[in-house]
Chains A and B, each alone.
Chain A
Amino acid sequence: MGVGREDCAVILVDEAGGASHNDSIRGIKYGANGKLFVSAGDDKLVKVWSTESWHCIATVCSEKRVSAVAISNDGLHVCFADKFGVVWVVDLPGVDETQAPLNKKAVPLLAHYCSIITSLEFSPDGHFIVSADRDFKIRVTVFPKKPLDGAHEVQSFCLGHTEFVSCLDFICTPDSPQGILVSGGGDSTVRMWDIISGSLLDTCAVGAKAQFESDTTEGNCSTVTDICTIPACTLIAVAIQSLRGIMLLSCDLSSRTLSVMKVVSIIGENFVPTSLGSSISGGLLWMVTGASKLRGSDISSLSRVKVISGFEKSSPDASEQEPAVLVDSEIPGGAKLLEKLQGSISVDEKVFLAAADAVKTAMCNLLIKKQYSDEKREFRKRTRNDRKSKH
């Protein structure tokens, strides 16, 4: 599962110095002001890029595979989480184009006890770093003034998900600069949290709704794969496994509730988005489906990008414009951009299914806990080495 999101019309990161990525990318993120971009994945390299020149300004080697990345709001620190539940931090020099890429060493910041961290996010005010894991947990940690000494003060734990937590995002409006945390998970829900107290504000069971909308009911495969809040309005776009399109939730900040606004379906293509990203200015939602590597498949191009527009106008007077999927030619950058992002303009239909399937298997293998029956557990105990030697 290599999910990427590109929400900027300038594309194609060039490789300037140092080793380039040579395995699946698991996490990418922009810094708060958009000047920095970080990418990391299975090749255990964390690369920080300047978005002005798309030069790599720092490469950090991780001991383990990286599962999530984030840049602190002041742009001074990069954090990345590995598959063993440790979040690492490395300080960045100022964005200096003239310097050669730096090879920095990361120090551990905090840890979830041996649990895969699925998402890492800074709060909008920069005071907290939020990490989500496979053990149903969301941890809110105070981001210290000297992060290299470790982050020891836990503000809260957001507990309520009944399966792995897959994604995090913040709703941030002028009224609530602190931001409200939203999370999606394997329990087919989107939940809203107060990070200061860790209390659950509302739960929206999107899985049930998605099953209803998409007529293909294939059991319980309505895991929330990604969520993305749309800036400047209180909408949350939700990508759900087996839903051909996205679900839009609206968040009522005064009553602190979530409700399903509508489902934007993608008609004509088997497009199940696996990753979402919103543009800061244009009111566009970019959707990607794809897989970087597929076993036993000869398909070369494995990604498809689609865009939804029309968010700003939908909230005040809905009659004027509704969120709608853009046809390829309407996408900023047009066919040229799509060709670069996707590899080719037209993508084989079976790619979609293969990609959606790959994401599903990857999530299953990694995140869902294995359930053994009592008999099986007893059997495994019986074949244990230390028992054998005694009898």
Chain B
Amino acid sequence: MWSDVKLEKNKAKQTPLKHSAALHEEAKDFCFLASLILSLQREIMLQNKANPTINKSTGLPRKRFYRARAHSNPLSDSHFPVPLSPSHVDYSLHYPQLFPSSYRSDGSKKIEFADIGCGFGGLLISLSTLFPETLMIGMELRDKVTEYVKERILGLRVANPGQYQNVSVVRTNSMKYIPNYFEKGQLSKMFFLFPDPHFKEKNHRRRVISPHLLDEYAYVLKVGGIIYTITDVEELGEWMKSCLQNHPMFESLSETELDADPVVKLLSTATEEGQKVARNGGQTFQAVYRRIKPASQENS
């Protein structure tokens, strides 16, 4: 929970060993996992070859093996492979059942939803069944977390034949490589849920919502496409809202439109981060905006 991060840091200065509620929650997770491990121990010992990072009964990955630090530096030089251009994105790797051959032919289905900084993938999983016909991808910078989501999707695909074929995840720095993955106007929804708040002013340029990056998001979003943001940090919520409000290519959704959109409800409930905030009774701040054609372009 990001709103705790700042608290944590401030607390750490005075009483370094004090735990926050969030940490207690995590400890609870650990206890639960530990009991699960005990109950499954025999089973695992019987099958020595089995991957210990996978929960045997559900086939899903066990989070304790995929924990990673919350921060990741988006400015550092990347060392992972990046597709040369959107036409080089290998859909058969991401959606093997839907794209059996290596490269998709032109005009076939393209990815329409992008969850930027998908974390442990809670939203993607919920969206997958809500929009079974839509291709969606999560983008995450942290290697371990991406691995977790990958395993989670694979597990879900095995457990639910025919389902979850439309979701995938990729490890990338979306702040740098969005145009390498999506063509102009390809996306209809983009999600920025509980992003790293980067409290310090000198780190504001690392924020995933910034006036200049919105130009790129407007480029990959089709006219009418929607950008969803939510955070539990009030300061960041205001920042994201003002960035979107001041951008000529975005307009806010009306209250009735927000109520009618089933996705809006998922923002605070589907993600791990959102659930944590709800458990701790935290507040969330959301901003949902539509990509529009700016007034200056109308006559062209």
Contacts and interface: CB of A to CB of B under 8 A. Distances in A.
A372 B79 CA distance: 8
Nearest to B212: A111
B84 interface: yes
Question: By CB atoms of chain B within 10 A, which of A111, A113, A370, A377 has the most?
Answer: A113
Interface in A15-31: none
A159 B219 CA distance: 15
Interface string A95-108: 00000000000001
B175 A160 contact: no
Contacts of B297: 153
Given A153-B249, A160-B84, A372-B79, A113 B176 contact: yes
B294 interface: yes
B183 to A, nearest CB: 9
B84 A152 contact: no
A154 B79 contact: no
A371 to B, nearest CB: 7
A40 interface: no
A86 interface: yes
The SS class assigned to the B binding surface is helix
A390 to B, nearest CB: 10
Contact of B77 (A137, A141, A159, A369): A369
A191 B252 CA distance: 41
A137 B83 CA distance: 12
A86 B212 contact: yes
Nearest to A384: B69
Nearest to B177: A135
Interface string A139-170: 10100110001111110110110100000000
A113 B213 contact: yes
A110 B215 contact: yes
A157 B178 CA distance: 11
Contact of A386 (B69, B176, B211): B69
B205 A114 contact: yes
A166 B79 CA distance: 21
B215 A156 contact: no
A154 B218 contact: yes
B175 A154 contact: no
A354 B213 CA distance: 40
B48 interface: no
Nearest to A135: B176
A169 B104 CA distance: 33
A51 interface: no
Interface in B195-246: 205, 211-216, 218-219
B79 A371 contact: yes
Contacts of A369: 77
A115 interface: yes
Contacts of B85: 159-160
Contact of A152 (B69, B74, B179, B249): B249
Contact of A144 (B184, B247, B296): B296
Contact of A159 (B84, B175, B211, B294): B84
Contacts of A156: 184
Nearest to B210: A111
A86 B86 CA distance: 24
Interface in A173-191: none
B53 interface: no
A114 B173 CA distance: 12
B180 interface: yes
Nearest to B220: A154
Nearest to B88: A159
Contacts of B211: 108, 150
B248 interface: yes
Contacts of A141: 215
B75 interface: yes
Contact of A154 (B77, B205, B215): B215
Interface in B60-103: 69, 74-75, 77, 79, 84-86
Contacts of B248: 149, 152
Given A84-B205, A111-B215, A157-B179, 9 more contacts: A113-B176, A113-B212, A141-B215, A145-B296, A152-B249, A153-B219, A154-B215, A160-B85, A369-B77
13 contacts: A111-B212, A113-B176, A114-B176, A137-B179, A152-B214, A152-B247, A153-B297, A157-B179, A159-B84, A162-B84, A371-B79, A377-B79, A386-B69
Interface of B: 69, 74-75, 77, 79, 84-86, 175-176, 179-180, 184, 205, 211-216, 218-219, 247-249, 294, 296-297
Interface of A: 84, 86, 108, 110-111, 113-115, 135, 137, 139, 141, 144-145, 149-154, 156-157, 159-160, 162, 198, 369-372, 377, 386
Which 3 pairs between the two chains have the least Cβ-Cβ distance?
A111-B212, A159-B85, A154-B219
